[in-house]
């Protein structure tokens, strides 16, 4: 799985925009990879030119469902 993600990120790096959405903060991503080589490669490519939008606060879906 790590290699698949790396290949996607690598193929798009400096060529096309990529949107990544996560409920896990960037600081927790490294542990998800399991392979430090792919983690370093992916994270450096994903974060070097990134625009990050963080929306703090409680989950709006829970509020809207009541």
Segment 10-33, tens digit of pLDDT? 898 888 888 888 888 888 888 888
pTM score of the predicted model: 0.61
What are the backbone angles phi and psi of residue 35, rounded to the nearest 5°?
-120, 110
Q: Name the token pair of 57.
A: 């606060």
> How remote is the C-alpha of 41 from its chain's centroid?
12
How many Å apart are CA 17 and CA 28, to the nearest integer?
23
Q: Name the token pair of 28.
A: 């927790």
% the chain with pLDDT above 70: 92
Q: Name the token pair of 1.
A: 């799985």
Q: Name the token pair of 3.
A: 């290699």
What pLDDT digit, counting tens, does each position of 29-56 carry?
888 887 788 888 888 888 888 888 888 8
Amino acid 66: pLDDT: 53
Per-domain boundaries in the chain: 2-52
Asked if pLDDT for residue 64 goes beyond 60, the answer is no
Amino acid 63: pLDDT: 62
Cβ proximity of 33 and 42 under 8 Å: yes
């Amino acid at each position: 799985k790590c290699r698949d993600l790396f290949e996607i990120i690598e193929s798009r790096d400096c060529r096309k925009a990529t949107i990544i959405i996560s409920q896990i903060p960037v600081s927790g991503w490294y542990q998800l990879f399991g392979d430090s080589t792919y983690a370093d490669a992916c994270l450096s490519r994903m974060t070097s030119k990134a625009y990050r939008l963080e929306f703090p606060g409680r989950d709006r879906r829970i509020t809207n469902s009541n």
